[in-house]
Structure 1
Amino acid sequence: MDDHTRAAGRVLYLVVCAAPPARSIGELIILAQQGGWTVCVIATPRAASWIDTPDLIERTGYPVRSDYKHPDDPDVLPRADAVAVVPATFNTINKWAAGISDTFALGVLNEALGLGLPIVVAPYVKAALAAHPAFARSLGLLRDCGAIVTPTEAIRPAKEGEPFLWSAVVDVFSSK
């Protein structure tokens, strides 16, 4: 992340994992942009197949990254000022807390922790997975490292078919 270009204003890396809110992540991008953020989307490999990449490229003006670049290729994203992981899945949270960088998204998250960037994590997991002891340990470790973790249910709609509650995330990173 150190070699990236600078963009005007604040840059938010939005790491998107494969969970139902990923399909409407454009709504969160609009809210972040209204708050003055330049948004760059980084998707996990599975999430990349769930999202509307052309739409997100048009909304952000940047490519959606889901894989490492070749060493000779230039960095195409500006340097991040903050990171939001939305929706953050059980798998990503546990791998990230363990320091695993087997995807570009995890590599970005591990670097962000190392750089001390502000990070907001919005977990979106099934109740059975949230009850797994590794999940609580991983969230605790990420909090201890400075990440701000929203409650697991924070972005879930009150009823089926209602919109996701993006304000639970936007309110946190907008204050950064």
Structure 2
Amino acid sequence: MTGTLTTGERADLLETLAKHRFFLRNTTRGLTDEQAGSHPTVSALSLGGLIKHVAATEASWARFIVGGADLMEKDAAPWDEQHRMMPGETLAGLLEAYEEVARETNELVATLPDLDVAHPLPTAPWFEAGKSWSARRVLLHLIAETSQHAGHADILRESIDGSKSMG
């Protein structure tokens, strides 16, 4: 964060999110682009695809914090392209993009006037109709999402080369 001192609840939320971002990124250490794009299980998931998906999801929720559901889909790639490495993409490039999203989210959280600012959720079968989420609730969701995908990534990494990134 550029010169912003973050303390209290915001620091706790950002520290927890940073920990789970690390766990996710750590699953890719030492991999080639080919390995990062591979599908070592029956799932279509790849490590590069997970990094890309988590970055896009975090960026989308940051836009929600700023302006609500209407901003979430801004500049979003098609759903299937958000979940896999596309030709020409590299693991290094995806990790760099994820780092930039993390920096932007951290800065947003540090400078928000209030974590209670809330917007109605987008219309989707997985959201309760008419419900709103605060910036705080969005950050808790991002922590849970990042953590869940770090677990998926750990399984994928072990399937690629036997490495265990979390244990």
TM-score normalised by L of structure 2:
0.29
Higher relative contact order (CA 8 A, sep 6+): 2
* Structure in which a larger fraction of residues adopt helix: 2
TM-score normalised by L of structure 1:
0.28
Structure exhibiting the larger radius of gyration computed from Cα positions: 2
* Structure in which a larger fraction of residues adopt strand: 1
